[in-house]
């Protein structure tokens, strides 16, 4: 099935990590006031560590950072991933 092209005023669905993580990291790098990341799973791999670092850097810039993750993925994360900056 071929997806419909996005409407001019819509946000594209990022369906996999290859599309999601670079786009999310870019948005976080440009955040000025707040950043809300909602995801159904996080991984303790290279992409997840880069996302974590980007969120910590944003918090150090005094950006209000919030992350919402469902209960499926977080139990695989190491304890230090809950660090706050």
Tens of pLDDT, residue by residue over 27-71, are 899 999 998 888 766 666 787 788 889 999 999 999 999 988 776
pLDDT at 47: 78
pLDDT at 85: 42
What domains, with CATH codes, occur in the chain? 17-80 (3.30.870.10)
Distance CA 17, CA 29 (A): 18
| Phi, psi of 65, rounded to the nearest 5 degrees | -115, 130
pLDDT at 83: 47
C-alpha R_g of the chain: 14
């Amino acid at each position: 099935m071929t997806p419909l092209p996005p409407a001019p005023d819509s946000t594209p669905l990022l369906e996999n990590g290859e599309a999601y993580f670079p786009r999310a990291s870019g948005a976080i790098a440009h955040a000025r006031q707040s950043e809300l990341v909602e995801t159904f799973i996080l991984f303790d791999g290279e992409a997840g560590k880069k996302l974590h670092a980007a969120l910590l850097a944003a918090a150090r810039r005094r950006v209000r950072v919030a992350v919402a993750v469902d209960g499926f993925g977080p139990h695989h994360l190491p304890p230090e991933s809950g660090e706050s900056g």
